[in-house]
Structure 1
Amino acid sequence: MGRILLVIRLALRDFRRRRTEAALLLIAILAATTTLTLGLVLRDAASDPYESTRAATSGPDVVASVGRSTDLAALEKLASAAGVTEHSGPYPVIGGKLEVSGRTSDVQVEGRDATVAVVDQPEVTQGSWVSDGGAVLEAAFANSLGASVGDPVTLGGRSFEVVGLAVTAAMPPYPGASCIVAGGCVNGAIPEDQNLPQALLHNPGLVWLTQADVRSLAAAQAPISYVLNLKLADPEGAQAFVDATAGGHSGAIRMQTWQSILAAATELARDSQILLLIGAWLLGLLAVASLSVLVGGRMADQTRRVGLLKAVGGTPGLVAAVLLAEYLLVALVAAAAGLVIGALAAPLLTESSAGLVGSAGTASLTVSTVGVVTAVALGVAVVATAVPAVRGARTSTVSALADAARPPRRTGWLIALSTRLPVPLLLALRVAARRPRRVVLGMASIAVTVSGIYVLMVLNTFLGNQPGTGAYSDAQVTVLRHVLGVWTVILLLLAAVNAIVITWATVLDNRHASALARALGATPREVSVALATAQVLPALVGAVLGVFPGGFLLFAAINGITGGDSDKTTLPVPWQLITLMLVTVLAVAGLTAVPAHLGGRRPVTDVL
């Protein structure tokens, strides 16, 4: 039999014997790979609708605007600047208030021609394009107002009919619309004790009318501004064009590149991606901790199998390869499943707004994404498995076949302290002392989990304050809540798997010591309580570390990456943090109770 075939057959046979442990391994790696895949493909999946909109509307490479008629000549000169191939406009723009169905909103009203423009011809998604007395609303803005084709609206005291809804690539969808009026715009919540200047627009939407209608409204509204759409020979050099022409108009002309519009239009996807990638690394750390403990427990349970392999001629290298192959196969399966699930789930978190054409669709997996996810899955498996596998392979054949109990580490002060405690606590301290690295892994696992939950609490409070502020629409808040929901479910699932895995590994590793304690008078209940308590004590320390400094540091890192303002963020109050720590400890106690109970009920004679 070939060496590779032998390794694979032995690995598969072990899977069949230990299906539950193989499933736990798969869940641990699958959680990390799925979240990582979501984060990596999210931005590409979300940018597709904008690219579709840009193609359908012949979107501009640069949008230039002026706030005064006296600067119109300078704006018109841009149409003949070096590098400009096509243009549309200048078009008149005024600020105003729109009333529809009893609701009032600030708007920017742009005058357009009824004919098709060469650059930036908004794509009509419902109804028709502008006509005398007819208004076209930007689709995301109309969706927010609940307006539809045929509704009457009032602008500047005049009545218009909504004849169509349209999308454009010249401006981010509502509520992130760019400001192209002279009076200026402000987005977000306004303090109740602060009054805005009358000309300043608050969270304005976008409306298109004919140029004649806009000019007729201008007499009673704010001064006319103008906007010009430019197409460049080198679209990728849009920022260079803006920098090169900036000095010629003394700041009177405001210019925006298509890249900055794309960034604003996909802000939601960027925020979602950051959250998912941070969640992926947290889950990766939990997966390493889970695998390390599970591998260590399985190695302890496979000691005799290692001895048998070596007794029939297996070299240490072959034994290590067999032990490693099991986890690498699981990692490959988890990577493949994570890539598929992540790609299929990405559109659920990147639904394009009504202000863009098309939808995110099924994200295409690039070679780099597949490579990164596969490498991370294999890396997690190797990091967690290499040391125990090599240690197991180097065990002598006689010792492995004997499968004797490991001599405990005797610490004088710990023995002196534990002898004065009740039996369950006495045994719990000695169980923990036998595997200090496992205790550290358990504390780290709980600390990472609690840190993640701390950040989720902060972000959930932040999103709860968003509706009506203009920072995110209700639909965008819903999408971000879905992202947090995915993060929460996977984080808690993997943390639960970790707690169960650590307890079961402890049960296996201490089966001889527990049986001996029962032979000397300890009851099965005392042994079960001791095994569970050995996990609860590190969980308490990990929960405290997860809140401070873990949660504070993780939130500070996210805030730094996203450029958020921590002064506007509501942090959890002390009673919430205390509740979080207590719930964590109780959850660990509940999760460890079952494996500890099973371990404490095994017949003493069979174990000894």
Structure 2
Amino acid sequence: MSHIVLVVRLALRDLRRRRTEAALLLLAVLAATTTLTLGLVLRDAAADPYRSTRSATDGPDVVVVAVAGQAGDLAELGELAAASGVTEHSGPYPVIAGTLKASGRTSDVQAMGRDAAAAAVDQPEVTRGSWVSDGGVVLEAAFADSLGVGVSDPVTLGGRSFRVVGVAVTAAMPPYPGASCIVSAGCVNGAVPDDRDLPAGLLHNPGLVWLTRADARSLAPDRGSLSYVMNLKLADPDEAQAFVDRAGGAMTMQTWESILADATDLARDSQILLLIGAWLLGLLAVASLSVLVHGRMADQTRRIGLLKAVGGTPGLVAAVLLAEYLLVAVVAATAGLTIGALTAPLLTESGAGLVGSAGVASLTWSTIGLVTAVALGVAVVATAVPAWRAARSSTVGALADAARPPRRTGWLIGLSTWLPVPLLLALRVAARRPRRVVLGVASIAVTVSGLYVLLVLNAFLGGQPAAGAYTEAQVAVLRHVLLVWTVVLLCLAAVNAVVITWATAVDNRHASALARALGATPQAVTAALATAQVLPALLGAVLGVFPGGFLLFAAINAITGGDGDKVSLPPSWQLIVLVPATALVVAALTSVPAHLGGRRPVTATL
């Protein structure tokens, strides 16, 4: 126990002495853990409004659709209502395909005939106005919001005039525009290419409306144009899919789990984007921590020698160095879980199609464990090897804190002698730490790949909701997700660039001081440190555009099951501008730490 207390006290003391570096560590891990938490809790947070709607409306476990002209199917509805495992049912209710005109807009609809009395299963929850009555129509809430129609507004349905008497929500069907098809004519959801026409009678993105049974039947030209819907409540809702599999038949059946999946489709898209962003940020966090750890090890050489000189074993020294990063990782994981859970509802607005709100997402033990494990894993991966290597170093050498001998490369020295002093020094700075250069190239490539995908998705959302895949509210939610990803990605990339420059300045403090003693100006040293980061940034930006961005977008498209052919790539000018813009931003970010590193007193350093 005394050893543990000693390790913790030494780690906390070093963190207090180096607050800026500790803050950078915290920010790097916090970005990854927050985004990962958002992705993990987003689906559950979005599902809560559906469950609230299901509870408020006595939602069905199975929805069955049959065509009126087929006597066998109608007879099967009665048999299903009495089947084993069914505890309650409502319907069958007549449904007719039609066209609704309101506020100067026209939309296909599925009109369902209902009773004025409340049903035992699937009684839509009226959010405004009242329930169905003769000559009145009730609109599904998301559909009403899309049309901009409210209570008392006149509408035309099937050539007849009606008045909107209410707006309601239901758990028996996903909200508009993802409504299930319950008419015999058939439906198509989503965008339709401009060069193609829908077959006659096929509904496009139909909304759902409720009428009285009599009004619904009066809209049907003949009995064969009707279809019927029946809602079933089961003794065990979790057996809904098994019940459907046993029932078989030609009728269409949909379980409440599939309705839930369709109703939270937007959240699933957001979740995928955030999880991919979390892994990208995780890679950047590992890169940032690796560089920061190496820089701190170089800055802590004398302290490591002192710990070993007073009796600390290599294991104890390594534990002290590792504990600093594990403590920061635990704090970052806790903060990331809290921020992610509180932010998730802002990205999962239930919209008009569901009741309730996402609220504060409850964190499951699996989510807490995974986020904490990722945070600790990032810290261990970035810290374990350099910490153990530093702990195994010579005590006398650590106390002396001598300059690290440079690697002599004949052709590089010959090439650099023909360059201006800043480029000469920059080339030799980069050559001293080739692995750090590779890490810098990789981190910029990851960042630019993420920006490439963001440009693609932003262009895609710019064509919505006209294309029909998302409503305006859904586009706004997805734009918020992209904004979160963009801000966090850019912030962590900026931290990474600053950390790499700072670590390079610390690692080259003796070489820089010697160059200044031999006549190099502080401006030349500063320019060399900045240039040593800009050159890898240019290479990383090029690799981030191609193949990095192209491959990342292909991976996202494969995971989401989307059709990449329908998404246009960013304009060429954006990709061309992205490369030099990245180099300019890196130059601006690295100028401050490079300036501070290039102006350290020569005599004190030597």
Alignment of 1:132-143 (within 5 A): 132-143=134-145
The amino acid that maps onto 1:293 is V
Number of the residue aligned with 1:13: 13
The amino acid that maps onto 1:344 is L
Shift of 1:493: 0.2
**Residues 155 and 161, structure 2, Cα contact 8 Å, conserved in 1:** yes
**Residues 156 and 220, structure 1, Cα contact 8 Å, conserved in 2:** no
The amino acid that maps onto 2:569 is L
The amino acid that maps onto 2:143 is F
Number of the residue aligned with 2:122: 120
Alignment of 1:21-420 (within 5 A): 21-70=21-70, 71-219=73-221, 223-246=225-248, 249=249, 251=250, 253-420=251-418
Over residues 390-439 of structure 1, what are the superposed CA-to-partner deviations in whole Å (9 max), with x where a residue is unaligned? 11111111101100000001111111111121111111111111111111
**Residues 187 and 469, structure 1, Cα contact 8 Å, conserved in 2:** no
- Aligned partners of 2:486, 2:506: CA distance in 1, in Å? 30
- Aligned partners of 1:220, 1:257: CA distance in 2, in Å? 30
- Aligned partners of 1:467, 1:9: CA distance in 2, in Å? 57
Shift of 1:348: 0.2
Q: Specify whether residues 565 and 222 from structure 1 end up closer, same or farther in structure 2 by C-alpha distance, changes over 3 A only.
A: farther
**Residues 62 and 255, structure 1, Cα contact 8 Å, conserved in 2:** yes
Helix, strand or coil at the partner of 1:159? strand
- Aligned partners of 1:163, 1:220: CA distance in 2, in Å? 27
Q: Specify whether residues 437 and 83 from structure 1 end up closer, same or farther in structure 2 by C-alpha distance, changes over 3 A only.
A: same
Alignment of 1:450-599 (within 5 A): 450-599=448-597
- Aligned partners of 2:21, 2:448: CA distance in 1, in Å? 25
Moved more, 61-70 or 176-185: 61-70
**Residues 95 and 221, structure 1, Cα contact 8 Å, conserved in 2:** no
Shift of 1:338: 0.5
Instruction: Point out where structure 2 has 5 or more consecutive residues left out of the alignment.
Output: none
- Aligned partners of 2:462, 2:244: CA distance in 1, in Å? 38
- Aligned partners of 1:257, 1:75: CA distance in 2, in Å? 16
Shift of 1:218: 1.2
Moved more, 537-546 or 231-240: 231-240
Shift of 1:74: 3.2
**Residues 115 and 212, structure 2, Cα contact 8 Å, conserved in 1:** yes
**Residues 94 and 221, structure 1, Cα contact 8 Å, conserved in 2:** no
Over residues 491-516 of structure 1, what are the superposed CA-to-partner deviations in whole Å (9 max), with x where a residue is unaligned? 00000000000000000000000111
**Residues 69 and 223, structure 2, Cα contact 8 Å, conserved in 1:** no
Shift of 1:210: 0.3
Helix, strand or coil at the partner of 1:99? strand
The alignment status of 1:425 with 2:423, answered yes or no, reads yes
Shift of 1:69: 2.5
Moved more, 415-424 or 212-221: 212-221
- Aligned partners of 1:31, 1:196: CA distance in 2, in Å? 46
**Residues 141 and 175, structure 1, Cα contact 8 Å, conserved in 2:** yes
Shift of 1:2: 2.3
Identical-residue share of aligned pairs (%): 80
The amino acid that maps onto 2:2 is G
- Aligned partners of 1:196, 1:309: CA distance in 2, in Å? 78
Helix, strand or coil at the partner of 2:65? strand
Helix, strand or coil at the partner of 2:225? coil
Shift of 1:243: 2.1
**Residues 199 and 222, structure 1, Cα contact 8 Å, conserved in 2:** no
TM-score, L = length of structure 2: 0.98
Q: Specify whether residues 521 and 569 from structure 1 end up closer, same or farther in structure 2 by C-alpha distance, changes over 3 A only.
A: same
- Aligned partners of 1:423, 1:338: CA distance in 2, in Å? 45
Helix, strand or coil at the partner of 2:219? helix
**Residues 84 and 230, structure 1, Cα contact 8 Å, conserved in 2:** yes
TM-score, L = length of structure 1: 0.97
The amino acid that maps onto 1:411 is T
Aligned residues: 604
- Aligned partners of 1:196, 1:601: CA distance in 2, in Å? 71
- Aligned partners of 1:388, 1:549: CA distance in 2, in Å? 31
- Aligned partners of 2:11, 2:195: CA distance in 1, in Å? 70
The amino acid that maps onto 1:267 is D
Helix, strand or coil at the partner of 1:91? strand
Shift of 1:222: 8.4
- Aligned partners of 1:197, 1:471: CA distance in 2, in Å? 20
Shift of 1:68: 3.7
Helix, strand or coil at the partner of 2:155? strand
The amino acid that maps onto 1:44 is D
Helix, strand or coil at the partner of 1:69? coil
Number of the residue aligned with 2:3: 3
- Aligned partners of 2:336, 2:223: CA distance in 1, in Å? 56
- Aligned partners of 1:337, 1:196: CA distance in 2, in Å? 51
Shift of 1:333: 0.7
The amino acid that maps onto 2:466 is G
Shift of 1:55: 1.3
Over residues 266-297 of structure 1, what are the superposed CA-to-partner deviations in whole Å (9 max), with x where a residue is unaligned? 00011111111111111011000000000100
- Aligned partners of 1:394, 1:435: CA distance in 2, in Å? 21
**Residues 106 and 203, structure 1, Cα contact 8 Å, conserved in 2:** yes
**Residues 32 and 287, structure 1, Cα contact 8 Å, conserved in 2:** yes
The amino acid that maps onto 2:173 is M
The amino acid that maps onto 1:413 is W
Shift of 1:65: 1.0
**Residues 156 and 221, structure 1, Cα contact 8 Å, conserved in 2:** no
Moved more, 296-305 or 410-419: 410-419
Over residues 122-161 of structure 1, what are the superposed CA-to-partner deviations in whole Å (9 max), with x where a residue is unaligned? 1111111111111111011111111111111111222212
**Residues 96 and 222, structure 1, Cα contact 8 Å, conserved in 2:** no
Shift of 1:230: 1.4
